């Protein structure tokens, strides 16, 4: 130890203590890893020797440099390079919720990529690649991989079998005890890239069995929409459950997304000289990757792009727009967005939810009372936003495909057919086997093992259908809306008896009733049939059925009986509070149920239980029913004619194309009739 002066202990590793020391010859700071060998087992001694052997083989600017090793007081001392910038894990933690720019992410990533490429070329597996083992220089610009204590030298092309490494970063093949090769390091590299982009780990759980299940399912929360599709795809490719489908390191380096950050590095033999990256270059997309929103010009200099000058920056259009109206909002109000593209929306009594293109849940909420700044006497009060948007946390590492809202609760379905629910647990609507409230999405465990393809929420009950055409229901059972033959409430999913010849394709929940649509476009219904809103009255012509033949309520799913609904192929149907609308294969729109507010589209306020073909409508493809109005959409390629209606519940609509004011929404004819 005469060569070194100990300054302080900077860490305690798996096998010993890590000291920060000063080298007496030149005053340079170095790390001394002290590994006691006297009380070590044979395997532990081999691991310590292995680290020395591995470090001797490696010589790369992005790998912690090895200096020497020696014995001191029955301990093995390994002298190596000191990285004063801390670990990448510390760097990420200090960011809190402030996401990194994509160029900064790639700047770190390509350095790790180069280092791992060097390791693999030496026929070495790192086997414990994680952000805690990735170190930074004092400027936090140069990345260096360290801690090769459990690395394995491959003396041949054979695969290793030993299960080692940090649980959150281990690959699926390790979880199954299968042989692995360099592709396990690529899985860990994907986990590191994900962590850089999301500031959290891809796979985390309260215990090891739960963590293994998450890793084996390969599900994780998508990264922010602010990042490019190429970055999202790269993460998906590296975190592929099949090792053979994960890209090789040289294939990753050849990707367009990696070429520019690689070129921006000054690389030389044994050294890397860096300059701090200027303000993000993400606005400088080129070629087919260009995005609208302005042009940026720059000049190429040695080591990267500099001298950025902006021409007139154009205000970029939102990726999508979502509007709401009703419940006191007299004209359509554009909801605030989070620079994301919303593909589907739903709303309940209090909640407004959407699903983004990347599979995240977005919610719009009224700002909390008193959130504004206190104003001085006589000051003009600032207008507070009516709604604020945020991404919902707690998706449990899954990609959301669709969302459906009931009263005070929400269900969502993942891309792997898993149902998750949250909100009020009253009436057992969450399906968790109890009546407890849940604030974040939680898996409906009773449906694990089934692949759900569609789910629908009523005010206080839920229906879901699987890819095997099985139907499940749960929640409030009044009026027989669950189709279980009783009016009992169920707080866990119950399989519904459906006729054998009937293949369920879609389910639909009303306020107090339910429908199932078959692959043959036939309809089953149960629950309240007030005003014949489910078409369960046996009507063979246009005459009213006698009172004795009128069905007011039914507790099991039965085929619709009212003509012509019982013979027509129904391609779309929706249920309102007291009426329904069905669209046939021929493009006709039939309404049935209450006509108190003219929602059936009749010229008169007739009261009839007979399904009514709305006159003048041709080529209808979809219909929607509110409390007191109906909306139908046709396929004619003409301009949208806007007609606003007032309804007690209000309505929220979402789209992906031009703004609502543009009068060309969806390029379809829309008809609205009902209570004004």
User: How far apart (Å, rounded) are the C-alpha atoms in residues 674 and 453?
Assistant: 33
**What DSSP state is assigned to residue 452?**
E
Reading the block at residue 117, the tokens are: 């490429």
DSSP assignment of 298-322 equals EEEETTEEEEEEE--PPPPPPS-EE
User: In whole angstroms, what is the distance from residue 53 CA to residue 326 CA?
Assistant: 71
For 69-98, b/e burial (b = at least 16 CB within 10 A) is beeeeebbbbbbbbbebebbbebbeeeeee
Of 33, 140, 129, 128, residue with least CA distance to 81: 33
For Cα atoms 36, 170, 138, give the angle at the middle one, nearest 5 degrees: 60
Place of tokens 């839920």: 462
In the residue annotation, 128 being an active-site residue is answered as yes
Tally of CB atoms within 10 A around 58: 19
Residues 675/646, Cβ–Cβ less than 8 Å:
yes
Token pair listed for 469: 């055409």
In eight-state DSSP terms, residue 417 is S
Contacts of 379 (CB under 8 A, 6+ apart): none
Q: Which residue among the candidates 128, 225, 407, 512 is catalytic per the annotation?
A: 128
Strand locations in 221-360 (E)? 266-268, 271-273, 296-301, 304-310, 321-326, 329-334, 342-347, 352-356
List, edge to edge, every strand of the sheet that includes 66-71: 4-12, 17-23, 29-36, 75-81, 66-71
- Residue 192's CB: how many other CB atoms inside 10 A? 25
- As annotated, the active-site residues are 128
């Amino acid at each position: 130890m005469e060569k070194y002066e100990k300054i302080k202990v900077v860490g305690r590793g798996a096998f010993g203590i890590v000291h920060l020391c000063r080298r007496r010859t030149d005053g340079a700071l170095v790390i001394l890893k002290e590994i006691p060998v006297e009380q070590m087992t044979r395997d532990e001694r081999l691991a310590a020797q292995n680290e020395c052997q591995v470090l001797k083989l490696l010589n790369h600017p992005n790998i912690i440099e090895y200096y020497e090793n020696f014995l001191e007081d029955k301990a093995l001392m390994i002298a190596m390079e000191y990285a004063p910038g801390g670990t990448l894990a510390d760097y990420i933690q200090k960011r809190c919720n402030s996401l990194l720019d994509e160029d900064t992410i790639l700047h770190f990533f390509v350095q790790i990529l180069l280092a791992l490429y060097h390791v693999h070329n030496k026929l070495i597996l790192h086997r414990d690649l994680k952000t805690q083992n990735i170190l930074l220089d004092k400027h936090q610009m140069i990345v260096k991989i360290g801690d090769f204590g459990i690395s394995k030298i491959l003396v041949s092309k054979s695969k290793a079998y030993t299960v080692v490494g940090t649980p959150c970063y281990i690959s699926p093949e390790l979880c199954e005890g299968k042989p692995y090769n360099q592709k396990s390091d690529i899985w860990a590299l994907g986990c590191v890239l994900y962590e850089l982009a999301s500031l959290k780990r891809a796979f985390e759980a309260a215990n090891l069995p739960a963590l293994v299940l998450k890793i084996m399912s390969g599900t994780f929360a998508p990264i922010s929409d602010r990042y490019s599709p190429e970055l999202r795809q790269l993460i998906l490719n590296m975190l592929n459950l099949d090792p053979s489908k994960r890209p090789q390191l040289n294939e990753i380096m050849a990707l367009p997304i990696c070429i520019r950050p690689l070129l921006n590095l000054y690389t030389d033999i044994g050294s890397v000289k860096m300059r701090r990256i200027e303000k993000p270059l993400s606005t400088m997309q080129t070629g087919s990757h260009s995005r609208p929103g302005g042009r940026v010009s720059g000049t190429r200099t040695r080591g990267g792009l500099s001298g950025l000058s902006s021409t007139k920056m154009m205000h970029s259009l939102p990726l999508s727009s979502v509007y709401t109206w009703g419940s006191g909002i007299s004209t359509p109000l554009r909801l605030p967005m989070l620079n994301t593209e919303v593909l589907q929306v739903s709303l309940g009594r209090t909640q407004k939810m959407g699903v983004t293109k990347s599979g995240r849940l977005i919610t719009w909420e009224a700002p909390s009372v008193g959130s504004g700044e206190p104003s001085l006497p006589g000051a003009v009060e600032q207008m507070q936003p009516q709604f604020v948007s945020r991404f919902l946390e707690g998706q449990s590492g899954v990609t959301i495909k669709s969302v459906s809202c009931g009263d005070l609760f929400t269900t969502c379905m993942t891309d792997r057919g898993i149902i998750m629910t949250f909100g009020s647990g009253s009436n057992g609507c969450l399906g968790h086997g109890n009546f407890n409230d849940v604030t974040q999405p939680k898996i409906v465990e009773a449906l694990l093992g089934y692949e759900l393809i569609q789910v629908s929420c009523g005010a206080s009950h839920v229906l879901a259908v699987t890819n095997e055409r099985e139907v499940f229901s749960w929640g409030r059972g009044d009026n027989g809306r669950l189709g279980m033959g009783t009016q009992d409430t169920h707080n866990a999913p119950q399989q519904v008896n459906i006729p054998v010849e009937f293949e369920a394709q879609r389910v639909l929940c009303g306020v107090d009733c339910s429908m199932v649509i078959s692959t043959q476009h036939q309809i089953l219904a149960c629950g309240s049939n007030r005003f014949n809103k489910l078409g369960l009255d046996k009507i063979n012509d246009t005459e009213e059925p006698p009172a004795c033949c009128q069905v007011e309520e039914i507790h099991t799913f039965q085929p619709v009986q009212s003509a012509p609904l019982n013979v027509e192929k129904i391609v779309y149907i929706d249920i309102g509070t007291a009426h329904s609308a069905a669209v046939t294969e021929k493009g006709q729109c039939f309404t049935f149920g209450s006509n108190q507010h003219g929602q059936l589209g009749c010229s008169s306020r007739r009261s009839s239980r007979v399904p009514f073909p709305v006159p003048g409508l041709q080529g209808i493809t979809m219909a929607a029913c509110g409390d007191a109005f109906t909306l139908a959409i046709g396929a004619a390629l003409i301009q949208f004619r806007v007609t606003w209606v007032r309804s007690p519940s209000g309505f929220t609509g979402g789209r992906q194309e031009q703004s609502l004011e543009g009068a060309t929404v969806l390029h379809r004819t829309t008809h609205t009739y009902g209570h004004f």
